[in-house]
Amino acid sequence: MQALFSDRARLQRMLDFEAALARGEARCGVIPAAAATVIAQHCDAAAFDLTELAAATAKAGNPAIPLVKALTKRVAAVDAEAARWVHWGATSQDVMDTGLVLQQREAFHFLNTRLNELVTVLVGTVREHRHSILPGRTWLQQAVPVTFGYKAAVWLDAVMRCRSRLREVLPRLGVLQFGGAAGTLASLDSKGLDVAQALGAELGLSVPEIPWHSSRDRIVEAGSVVALLAGTLGKIARDLSLMSQTEVGEVFEPAEEGRGGSSTMPHKRNPVGCSIAISASVRIPGLMATLFAAQPQEHERGLGNWPVEWETLPEIFTLTAGSLAAMTHVLSGLEVDTERMLRNLDLSHGLLYAERVTFRLAEKLGKHAAHELTTLACQRVVATGKGLKETLAADAKVMSVLTATDLDAAFDPAQALGSTQGFIDRVLAAAGQG
């Protein structure tokens, strides 16, 4: 991802615009075909001095201005007539925005490919652990039993939504920016729309109904879709890191030489991959706030908000790519301790079956009376340290409506999973793995 948004890549995509512009204008009879050929031949980023362009950018205000000058100079060295037609009818923002769109397109394809890998890994996790029971947790407290496959299916479902967003948004974002000085293409007279269509075809981009120089919703949407992926990965990382705490010990990141250690504590096995994903999910909202703040731009082309995007959007993409790589690696080699998960079911002395008992009692006593009866029993468990099942078995009122078999069933974790398997099947089917 860093390579896709490097200075050299940015320069090349801007030059791709210039080459396509020349070819498109030649097709429309705006500039000579011979000039277009010469211009396109010199649109190779490897031939340009990045340091020199960077220095000139500081004075010009954007990199397109010195780039056009440098390209014109290179073309003029071999064909003075062709040099007259470099950048004909375009403006700096056309070059930079379209270059960014081309970079975004590559970045979305990159993320989509990597997301396919993560989906495959998660499908495997769901299948392997669909029956691995552990405590479900709400507000960081044990709630009712779930399975690890169910937790992974929740993650998988969210990841697939992110993948769908990436695919759905690309046609809306893969659009040309070409409006000239103020968006009217006045410099091309009556040929403006014809050139726009030809330019879009050259680059494989759709042509919007109207130039979008100061309408930055597309840029903000691109960042938002990627930011949602980063947040989803951060959620997975948060869950896994909590499950890997010493006192919980249900999962561990892959054990590798030099991974997760401490400079002072030899025993440490830190969830470093999760840390990468969580840190990305923490940083990106601030970057998105920058994009949102920069969105309202003045009149036909804005003053200072547009440059804000140049580094902010690539950083969002890059952080997310790093997070995705980290979590794919973590989940590919995740160590799962199913025995510890089962032992953790007993930490609350059976309290996580309280809801199940309440509904069994409610069938005989009504919901309110059953809830009060179970609540009192739970309070006795906390006070005495005895198990909830034993406490209920010693309660004459409870045993007047429940049999010992009923009580055993209420505390059987395998019978306490509700529609878990059905939900898992639905997610796997949506992933094409049903």
CA 12 remoteness from chain centre: 26
**Which of 161, 269, 301, 426 does the annotation list as catalytic?**
301
- CA-angle at 28, arms to 64 and 69, nearest 5°: 20
Say how far apart CA 147 and CA 414 lie, in whole Å: 10
Element (H, E) at 428: helix 420-430
d(CA 195, CA 23) in angstroms, rounded, equals 10
Q: Is 262 marked active-site?
A: yes
Helix 148-173 / helix 92-128 crossing angle, nearest 10 deg: 160
Rounded-to-integer distance, Cα 318 and Cα 314, Å: 6
- Residue 175 DSSP code: B
Cα(76)–Cα(72) distance, rounded to whole angstroms? Answer: 6
Length of the chain counted residue by residue: 434
CB-based contact 104:173 (threshold 8 Å): yes
The tokens describing 63, both together, are 């990199």
Name the active-site residue from 164, 215, 262, 419.
262
**Is 155:236 a contact under the CB 8 Å cutoff?**
yes
Q: How many CB atoms lie within 10 A of CB 245?
A: 10
Q: Are strands 335-336 and 141-147 parallel, antiparallel or unpaired?
A: unpaired
DSSP annotation string for 210-233: S--TTB-HHHHHHHHHHHHHHHHH
CA angle 266, 268, 272 (to 5 degrees): 130
Q: Give burial (CB, 10 Å; 0-12/13-18/19+) of 256.
A: exposed
**Between the CA of residue 328 and those of 26, 162, 164, 401, 412, what are the distances in Å?**
47, 15, 18, 50, 34
Cα torsion 377, 383, 385, 391 to 10°: value is -20
* Cα–Cα distance measured from residue 352 to residue 223, given in angstroms and rounded to the nearest whole number: 41
CA atoms 170, 172, 176, 182: torsion sign: negative
Hey, which residues are catalytic here? 262, 301
